[in-house]
Structure 1
């Protein structure tokens, strides 16, 4: 028996806690100790559980179950050698106790010995009457080993024994997803639903599979059945909204997203999607209201700040866009997408130094897209910093070797710096990689392009 919340004040627990306060030693039978320990472990009160184990073993020194709780605490505290030793002694006494094998497998799993853990759990299967939990444990061990087919089979056996084991159902679908077996997942879920037609979880997962297959009409139908099965299922309304957006049925999408706001606390995702739908419908005032609500609800959600910034970019209101991206950066200065947007908006406003700073920060944060390197180089060139521009391009060449766009720029920069030997080297490389990109030289370095020295190299 497990203690539920309503059992908290039950007689045994109250008596035990009273004993701890008074230091009077009272007698409990072993089942009472097991329930008390189980309760404390479920509550995360390990210190109290250890006290109960100690007192329990003092009163019932031969109790295997109490010793198994002691093993569980050893494992929790990562004292695996002590756990191993105690289990070995218990195995000698009760070699047919399945719980000994389960704890042994738990230790092996913590030690990253998952194959051995699976082997031990299979031995436990031979002893167990109720095998659902064991198959679940075996499935998890297979997942640790990325053995998704085997994991899927184990979780399917769990579901065969307990059709309402939704954790196993989710794990089965997870395995199908990882293996890119969408059609097989659809077949499995449909078969499951033949026997469990009102399982909202299965309908929801079936809708996800159809969505991945871009069969939006069937996805919509699956989500409708999920909602019929449970009209308070927030996830089904959200997913249905996403499908309706794909079908450009924006008003219906808004309706479904709005239902979620009445069923639970507002989510930034729903508010963002409602804003996006209003924008698609040309309802800009409503759209921006919901974007404001999104960032108010979750200031750390980058998609909210990106949405409101891009909204003002599309409105050609660069100043407001810059205001909001600056607010976003003040909240999270490590977000590379924010810095790219910051750079692009400043570039549009012809604030070249700020734009260059934005691209530089994006690179520092790991944005190594070719476009980022090239635009930053061009900005540094415009700002009269050819040495910095060339250094930036040399760094870029480490990620994009033998790239004509980089080499033509380096050639132009070195000619401008009168470093003709380096310039000639990069120009020859550029022409060898892709001569058609010589237009870069013509557009960015017209004086260099027109010089006789360069023309003689180009014409060879």
Structure 2
């Protein structure tokens, strides 16, 4: 075994370069073998000296005109210099001396693609697949999958990767790639069958278990996905992507405690990421642990202070606790980054309304309506705010506008009813109440929450009772 192989290799190439210079200039009686020319070409190519590499190839071919390897290397350099037609001519020449060299097919494919002749590239590779077996066939399938990817024939990309795995179930590159393409093409059922076959042959292949789990997740079989991720983790306890995806599956099942455990494991194994902190914050939020939710949202926010959504989520935890001042501060931060987001304005309007700053609240709700004219939540918030502020005439006006904008959502008949009652116009109020009860009797709860005094009116009670007989309220 050589102790200093790098040093010896450098000495050898330096000696070859001296002999090559002597050969070109006619000094001495140097003779270089075919393999020596190949090494010299590679030397220039690795240093991005393409003219030098091309000259070495042409010099070598003067001495070895029937060398398919030197012709292939020359074609490779011509491709790098965008001389595609010349490269194809050289490859045709090389094929006369060795038609079974896989590099012929790969370089021809590159030339056809550069000339925008996809059909020729595909046909060439498909024909070549019949000529090769083993690793060379696998290489061609990868090449063909890249061609299909370039030309957006994505199902055929999946097909190539599937063929690779059927021939070589443990091929890591194919296992990594097919996970993405399964999700992209939606071919989850096929992927499940394929990976179950792989696992039968290789039960300790963690990538196959991971891909199986991801495919189950793709068709919303979250319990099965979690089981498969668990197998992947047993085989490789540091498989952070398995923990990450498992956390997502638990969230989908609303198993937030289990999701937190999985996501915290991701933080142990990899560099912290904003998206993981945000997901953990979401879980705590759902569990009603608003303080922990805020801690994790803030960690995410520190990693990406330009993400307005995170300030909004922090504000949402304060809204849940009715801490309006703190909610407003965070909504201010969110809206400094993105002012016109309807959700932010809706939340700010709610806070201002709870603080009895009705005019400010109305301004925010108006922004929501201008952004989303058909959005029921925006109209409802505005009308409730006007009602609490005692602007009953405006309530009626906005109810009419809401009915028109939302294709007569029944909810606004009830709010109009409340507006008419508040203005001392019971006849009109009962008319709107009846319209609402005809269309959606369950929504009467909304108006009774807003104006419980209506139940002191016998006509209201009778009207509601009449509809109760035919509908469960």
Instruction: Report if TM-score (shorter chain) is over 0.5.
Output: yes
Selected match of 2:231 from 194, 219, 225: 225
Answering whether residue 29 of structure 2 is matched by residue 29 of structure 1, we say no
Shift of the 10–249 alpha-carbon distance from structure 1 to 2, 3 Å rule, reads: farther
Instruction: Give ranges in structure 2 of 5+ residues lacking alignment.
Output: 19-23, 26-31, 62-69, 436-473
In structure 2, the partner of 1:58 is 55
Residue 105 (1) aligns with residue 113 (2): no
Helix, strand or coil: the match of 2:83? helix
Which secondary structure does the structure 2 equivalent of 1:60 belong to?
A: helix
User: Please, which of 258, 271, 274 is the counterpart of residue 280 of structure 2?
Assistant: 274
Q: Find 1:215's aligned residue among 218, 221, 226.
A: 221
Structure 1 residues 34 and 361: alpha-carbon distance in aligned structure 2, compared to 1, 3 A threshold: farther
CA contact (8 A) 2:352 2:360 kept: yes
Q: 63, 69, 74: which one pairs with 1:67?
A: 74
Instruction: Please say if 1:125 is aligned against 2:132.
Output: no
What are the within-5 Å matches in structure 2 for residues 274-353 of structure 1?
274-301=280-307, 304-331=310-337, 338=344, 341-342=347-348, 345-346=351-352, 349=355
Q: Distance in 1 between matches of 2:378 and 2:410?
A: 21
CA distances 1:200-222 after superposition (whole Å, capped 9, x unpaired): 22212222233344433322221
Query: Which structure 2 residues correspond to residues 42-441 of structure 1 after superposition, within 5 A?
Result: 48-49=47-48, 52-61=49-58, 62=61, 63-74=70-81, 82-95=82-95, 96=99, 98-109=102-113, 114-126=118-130, 128=132, 130-246=136-252, 249-301=255-307, 304-331=310-337, 338=344, 341-342=347-348, 345-346=351-352, 349=355, 370-371=375-376, 374=379, 408=403
How many residues are treated as equivalent by the alignment?
A: 391
Q: Partners in 1 of 2:263 and 2:118 — Cα distance? A: 43
- The question of whether the paired residues in 2 share the 8 Å contact of 1:12 and 1:36 is answered with no
User: Residues 106, 154 of structure 1: CA spacing in aligned structure 2 closer, same or farther, 3 A cutoff?
Assistant: same
TM superposition shift of 1:227? 0.9
Distance in 1 (CA, whole Å) between partners of 2:207 and 2:127 is: 32
Cα distance in 2, alignment partners of residues 158 and 287 from structure 1: 45
2:368, 2:378 within 8 Å by CA — same for their partners in 1?
no
Shift of 1:55: 0.9
2: CA distance between counterparts of 1:9 and 1:255?
A: 54
Mapped partners of 1:299, 1:245: distance in 2: 25
1:441 to 1:113, Cα distance in 2 relative to 1, 3 A:
farther
State the Cα distance separating 1:225 from its structure 2 match.
1.0
Structure 1 residue 8: deviation in Å?
12
Query: Structure 2: how far apart are the matches of 1:112 and 1:357?
Result: 57
For the structure 1 residues 83 and 163, does the alpha-carbon distance in structure 2 shift closer, same or farther, using more than 3 Å as the test? farther
The residue matched to 2:330 in structure 1 has which SS?
helix
Distance 1:440 1:107, change over 3 A: farther
Cα separation, 2, equivalents of 1:127 and 1:65: 19
Shift of 1:170: 4.0
- Rounded Cα–Cα distance in structure 2 between residues aligned with 1:360 and 1:213: 40
Question: In 1, distance between residues paired with 2:403 and 2:382?
Answer: 12
Aligned partners of 1:257 and 1:173: how far apart in 2? 21
Residue aligned with 1:131, SS: helix
Structure 2 residue matching 1:158: 3-state secondary structure: helix
The separation in 1 between residues aligned to 2:263 and 2:239, in whole angstroms, is 12
SS of equivalent residue, structure 2 residue 322: coil
Conserved? CA contact 1:309–1:325, under 8 Å: yes
Q: Distance in 2 between matches of 1:352 and 1:104?
A: 72
Aligned to 1:198, the other structure's residue is in SS state coil
The residue aligned with 1:419 is none
Shift of 1:296: 1.4
Change (3 A) 1:123 1:302: farther
Cα offsets for 1:128-164 (capped at 9, x unmatched) = 5502122123223334555444332211222234433
Q: Distance in 1 between matches of 2:310 and 2:171?
A: 36
Q: Relative to structure 1, is the Cα distance of residues 120 and 240 closer, same or farther in structure 2, using a 3 angstrom cutoff? A: same
Partner Cα separation in structure 1 for residue 167 and residue 232 of structure 2? 23
Q: Is the 8 A contact 2:210 2:232 kept in 1?
A: yes
Q: Deviations over 1:37-64 (max 9, x none)?
A: 3x5xxxxxxxx42xx2211222221433
Give how far 1:223 is off.
1.2
Shift of the 321–146 alpha-carbon distance from structure 1 to 2, 3 Å rule, reads same
